Amino acid sequence: MNVIIALSGQIGSGKTSISNGLAQLLNWDIVSFGNYIRKIALSKQIDITRENLQNLGESLVRENPESFCYSVLEQENNWKNKSFIIEGVRHEIVLDKLINIVVPSTLYHIHLLVSNIERERRVILRGNLSDDLKSMHMHPSEADVHQLLFDRANFIVDTTNLSVEETCSNIFSHLKANKIALL
């Protein structure tokens, strides 16, 4: 049976870095909600700003969450017959749709935590201002990430004091210990 690892977490928690690290460790592909939203923004000639991307993602979820999920999954060729990583789950309804869509594969949801101080540091390193972080955090697209997705996770990892390699190793060890088929 195939396994799909879905990563959620707040802005700056390490979703992209950890997805890339896990993909390299497992030799799996990644589908990304963020990449899909950027592609749609470009096709609609929308400026690529955090706020615009958050608003576009929010509207795609509101319009038709199931269609949105299928569109993201279809970035991966033959997604129904392989294991892969989904980066950037941000809504509980999206998680629910994904769980149902990927059957008979197993979706394993990993939520990434990070302290506010480290999150702010990471966001600033990416070129965003700390004032932007406050407005990013208040956006409706962040509402589910903070609590609902945390509560629904199969595994939670605090990335605050861990390197990407350490985080990926912890996740890999957890998956093996819980007999999640990885290869």
pLDDT at 141: 62
pLDDT at 142: 67
In DSSP notation, 89-104 reads E--HHHHHHHHHHTTT
Does a structural domain hold residue 182? no
For the segment 84-120, what is each residue's pLDDT rounded down to a tens digit?
A: 999 999 999 999 999 999 999 999 999 999 998 998 8
Does a structural domain hold residue 142? yes
For the segment 137-161, what is each residue's pLDDT rounded down to a tens digit?
A: 666 666 667 678 999 999 999 999 9
Q: Does the N-terminal peptide bond of residue 104 adopt cis geometry, omega within 30 degrees of 0?
A: yes
pLDDT at 59: 95
Does the pLDDT at position 130 exceed 60? no
- Kindly indicate the confidence band of residue 135, based on its pLDDT and cuts at 50, 70 and 90: low
Does a structural domain hold residue 76? yes
pLDDT at 179: 85
Alpha carbon dihedral 175, 176, 179, 183, in 10-degree steps, equals 90
Range of the domain at 158: 3-177
Q: CA-CA distance, 150 to 176, in Å (whole number)? A: 21
- Whichever domain contains 159, its CATH number is 3.40.50.300
Does a structural domain hold residue 151? yes
For the segment 14-63, what is each residue's pLDDT rounded down to a tens digit?
A: 999 999 999 999 999 999 999 999 999 999 999 988 788 889 999 999 99
Bridge pairing between strands 84-89 and 29-32: parallel
User: At which residue do the structure tokens 């093996």 appear?
Assistant: 176
Counting the structural domains of the chain, the total is 1
